[in-house]
Amino acid sequence: MRATVLIVDDHAGFRAGARRMLEAEGWDVVGEAVDGASGVDAARSLTPDVVLLDLNLPDASGLELVTTLPASAAVVLTSTHEEEELDDLARERGARGFLPKSSLSGASLAAIIAAG
């Protein structure tokens, strides 16, 4: 069975691009959300394996949202920022890791989950 992923990002272009890229590499994109509140709702109802969560959402910081998402989902934070320290911060907050948007691919997302 394909791994399921929920994309939470306020940029429609990124959501569409990420969906195409992940689906092309075998992921099952089960939903998209545009902000923190709808992201948390979607994560609860869709119970994805992975939540790809933007760091800067209109209503919240992705870092602050990690603990409000279902524990069953592996959370990977993403952003156009690329500081190594964001990976430390993400892990400190309980996320599986941080993946810069410029490096996003099905394989790189799978690698973070596997390394978890």
Partner 1 sequence: MTTDATTSTQADNAALTAVLAAALDAVITMDGTGRVLSFNPAAERTFGYRAADAVGRDMADLIVPPDLRDAHRRGLSRHLAGADPVVLDQRIEITGMRADGSEFPLELTVTRIAAEQPLFVGYLRDISDRRRAEAELKASRARLVTASYEARRRIERDLHDGAQQHLVMLSMTLRLVRAQTPDDSPLAELVDQAIRELGEATAELRELARGIHPAVLTQGGLRPALRALTRRMPVPVDLTDIPDGRWGAAVEATAYFVVAEALTNVARYADAQQASVSVREEDGKLVVCVSDDGRGGADVNAGSGLSGLRDRLDALGGTLEIDSPPGGGTRLLAEVPCES
Handedness of CA 13, 35, 52, 54 (dihedral sign): positive
* Selected binder of partner 1 within 66, 97, 101, 112 (CB under 8 A): 101
Could you say whether residue 61 binds partner 1 (CB under 8 A)? Answer: yes
* Selected binder of partner 1 within 71, 102, 114, 115 (CB under 8 A): 102
Q: How far is CA 78 from the centre of its chain?
A: 6
User: What residues contact 45, with CB distance under 8 A and at least 6 apart?
Assistant: none
* Selected binder of partner 1 within 1, 13, 71, 115 (CB under 8 A): 13
The one segment of 30-38, 41-49, 66-74, 96-104 that binds partner 1 by CB under 8 A: 96-104
Could you say whether residue 83 binds partner 1 (CB under 8 A)? Answer: yes
Q: Rounded to an integer, what distance in angstroms lies between the CA atom of residue 14 and that of residue 96? A: 21
What does the binding site for partner 1 look like in residue numbers (CB under 8 A)? 11, 13-14, 17-18, 20-21, 24, 55-56, 61, 63, 79-86, 88-89, 101-102, 104-105
